[in-house]
Amino acid sequence: MTDTFDTSHATDPAWLRSHRRAVLDFYYPTCMDEERGGYVAQLDEQTGEVYDADSKHLVATCRFVVNFCRAARDDGPDWALAAAEHGVDFLLTHHRDEETGGYHWLLDGTDPVDERRSPYGHAFVLLALAEATTVGIDGAREALDETYALVERHFWEADENLCRSELDADWEPVEPYRGQNANMHMCEAHLAAHDATDDERYLERASAIARRLTVDLAGETDGRIWEHYTADWDPDMEYNVEQKAHQFRPWGYQPGHHAEWAKLLTELSDRVDEKWPLTRAEELFAVAIAEGWDAERGGFYYTHNLDGEPIVADKYGWPVAEAIGAAAVLAEATGEDVYQVWYDRLWEYAVENLVAPGGNWYSKLTEENEYVDTDEGPAVEPGYHPIGACEAALQSFDG
């Protein structure tokens, strides 16, 4: 941690690239599983030591690919492209089921131990393959279009303009639940796929998902983004109400997702000739700040109730990273000073509280901004969010 942070660094492209490189260097080359392929994501956030060399989570594999592709595309280290190719090969060879075309959720080494077909996981497959397409990795474009068709066939609910939830290994439904989070990442992935291919169907799909969730459905919850829905896409206000601190599907509003949508909608607004995405982006960023930001200690509460009172008061790194990205793109899109102020404030908080000595970011802090050990279970966050913050800032501030 530092006592002060010179916020003039935060818009300096050289500093942003240096910060991105520090995150990459924390993981590479330790993350490279040269014997079995793929990556090792389970590194202790304080020491960098591997605490589980075997678990290979689909989301972690995809996020590593995204990180390395983004660096390779932007004059990153010489090894970035090869590291990305290494991950794409593992993704298509081991995570992908040759018989069904679906992607396994979790591997032990190269053996599937959880074969569920997750729309969240397949969204990240699309994102990884889109980024791989931009740097010319062999087979990425073909696999991208194949995965789009797979999502279309098994997840897409055309009457709702949204994706359904989890399926089993044979593509059969396992629950009536519907969720916004997977669809938000589907929007993100389709925006990236459009940028990589110029194929308008990807942009149309991204826009349809965004409008359905942030305009139509949010209109039923006072403009805010609710997380959980019934099979008919009605807001399910009772889902996990008795498990408000559920690890993956907590009850309540998540400020981090409001900030993340603000970023995505601003990016969408730059690609379509419509006003609503930017309008909603500004509104959702304002909600995230007004109801999620801890004005006394900094950081975003993880969740809050219908009245804006914190439920899970822990501070995670990813909402701050997403808010940095949102503030950066909103500052460019609107020219409003308030977004630059928040961009600086968010970076100052991140550098003073979230950036670890090794250059990576801590995943989780207490309400008082004390470190929380998260070395349990397969990791899915190999620096994806802070690298994404740098990516959005570079696009906004690098000329």
Cβ neighbour number for residue 298 with a 10 Å cutoff: 18
CA 257 to chain centre: 10
Query: What DSSP string describes 138-192?
Result: TTHHHHHHHHHHHHHHHTEETTTTEE---B-TTS-B--S-EEHHHHHHHHHHHHH
363 by DSSP, 3-state: which?
A: coil
**β-bridge mates for residue 43, sequence order:** 50
Phi/psi at 79 (5° precision): -85, -5
Q: Give yes or no: 86 in active site.
A: no
Structure tokens at 246: 């559920």
Q: Give yes or no: 257 in active site.
A: yes
Q: By the 8 A CB rule, do 88 and 129 touch?
A: yes
Structure tokens at 80: 């970035």
**β-bridge mates for residue 301, sequence order:** 315
Structure tokens at 271: 């690609």
Query: Which entry of 19, 228, 257, 304 is annotated as an active-site residue?
Result: 257
Give the active site residues: 257, 385
